[in-house]
Structure 1
Amino acid sequence: MKLKDILKVKGSKVWTVKTNQPVREALKILVDQKIGALLVLDEKERIVGIVSERDIVRGCHQNLKTLDAMPVSQLMTKEIVIGSPEDETSYIMGVITHKRVRHIPVVSEGRLQGIVSIGDVVKSVIEDSQYEIHYLKEYISGSGQSQ
């Protein structure tokens, strides 16, 4: 399965914030939309970072008094791992593990196509495995053979 297959099921809606938006606004979007991360865009709509629940929790620990007015750009992760719609989920699982990230924006020809989380990737791998197991059982038992 490829990332484009996950996005077909999940959809391509991506929630974003601007670099100068207060962390409070980012937190509200995360809570209201029940999501774990927001892509951070500059004034030209380019991806310049990602801010996650974990980034905000770390910010709370370090700067609780000033966090309310702090711009997202001070908390965001600037080194973003980007995926392609053609990337295989097995490859992305390795990237997620090696780079220790939980969200991967999917970009094609410079355009944002969507975002996948570690949960989306694991879910697709499990579904693929269940599908494969089902048909292997049918094949072994003979019920899946054509006459």
Structure 2
Amino acid sequence: MKKVHEVLNEKGHDVYSIGPEASVFEALRMMADHEIGALPVLENGRLVGLISERDYARKVILLDRSSRNTPVREIMMARVTCVEPGRTVEECMALMTDKRVRHLPVLEHGKLVGLVSIGDLVKAIIDEQQFIISQLELYIAS
């Protein structure tokens, strides 16, 4: 089973982040510009939260708040489930299912080194299954 660091090596280590005092509108613009669904929230280089499109829908739109006047700090998830690069894709999928989250920041020695989404993990599982199937087909054909 693939490990998180392998998934990051394939998808890239670029991590976009935002500060807690930025507006929700700025966070949404950044997510739209980079076609991502969540942003780690960093304060002085330290992970302090995570903001997602889901947070926006539930904590801004449904409460009739203004995204331009609401700081990220007010709607971000402050208790973030994180993983280390050595965790397997399978372990991460189980953790995401258990915690009901769709994004996992990846920390190495307390420093943010990546972010994996449920889509990244599903892709890794599908790729691995396709490889196994092709190997079995070669074995059967020979």
TM-score above 0.5: yes
Query: Is 1:70 matched up with 2:70?
Result: yes
SS of 2:51's equivalent? Answer: strand
- 1:17 aligns with 18
- 1:94 aligns with 94
Structure 1 unaligned runs (5+)? 143-147
Displacement of 1:46: 0.6
Shift of 1:139: 1.3
Query: Percent identity between the aligned chains?
Result: 38
Number of equivalenced pairs: 140
SS of alignment partner, residue 138 of structure 1 = helix
Give CA deviations for 1:74-114 in whole Å, capped at 9, x if unaligned: 01011111111110101111011111111111111112111
How much has 1:67 moved relative to structure 2? Answer: 3.1
Query: In structure 2, what is the Cα distance between the partners aligned to 1:9 and 1:132?
Result: 18
- Letter of the structure 2 residue corresponding to residue 68 of structure 1: R
**Mapping of residues 29-44 of structure 1, within 5 Å:** 29-42=30-43, 44=44
Q: Which residue of 2 aligns with 1:26?
A: 27
Question: If you compute each CA radius of gyration, which structure gives the higher value, 1 or 2?
Answer: 1
CA RMSD of aligned residues (A): 1.0
Residue 103 of structure 2 aligns with an amino acid whose one-letter code is H
* Counterpart secondary structure, 1:12: coil
In the TM superposition, residue 16 of structure 1 has moved relative to its aligned partner by: 0.7
For residues 126 and 55 of structure 1, what CA distance do their matches in structure 2 show? 29
Q: TM-score, normalised by structure 1?
A: 0.91
Q: How does 1:84-123 map to 2 (within 5 A)?
A: 84-123=84-123
Moved over 2 A (4+): none
